[in-house]
Amino acid sequence: MTIKPNYIISQIPSVADFNTFAANPALQYITTVNLNAVTTNISSVFSSTYDNYRFEFSKIYSTSGFVTFPLMSFTSGAGTAHFDGVKSTSSAGANSFNGQNGSAYWLCGYCNTTQLDAGQISMDIYNPFNTKTTSYTSKFSNSTGGGFAGGIVNTTTSYTGCQIVGLFGSNIVGTLRVYGYRKA
């Protein structure tokens, strides 16, 4: 498949080009997971098919207000190799930063504590299956604010799956859609 990398404003893509784009979108759907537990295991989601992934959480809320994301291989975990930072701003104008060094999980975003105020988190995960350092970036928003986060797992372990965990033993409720970024 050949996809022309750059069109300039004066160029109009052909019908064949549009058909190629439509048949080969950059994001390839993998699965949908309904979340309603303290811990949800998502096994065999990472593979050699994709290098990078998009996790889209929608209508998500938790009684703790945090969504955590420890990467797991289900044969050996990442242990305390997670490093991250979360920056958020509330609708009242308050700013906060939370950084973690050597944690057992990533904080991928803040969410509200009720279904009425449920929010969304968009998270990109880079190289979880490859034997390279795995990293992530995310952005999140809800009815009371929003922010962004990013971090790494400081190992070169190949991961096949992960867990979505409610911090402090709280349920995570919502919908997760997983996509893989098409390789060029």
Kindly give the confidence (pLDDT) of every residue in the chain, 184 residues in length, as a single tens digit, with 9 standing for 90 and above. Answer: 445 555 555 667 677 766 666 666 789 999 999 999 888 889 899 999 999 999 999 998 888 777 777 665 444 555 677 777 888 887 777 888 888 787 777 888 777 887 777 889 999 999 999 999 999 999 988 888 888 889 888 888 899 998 888 877 788 889 999 999 998 7
List of domains in the chain: 27-181 (2.60.120)
**Closest Cα partner for 158 from 45, 24, 3?**
45
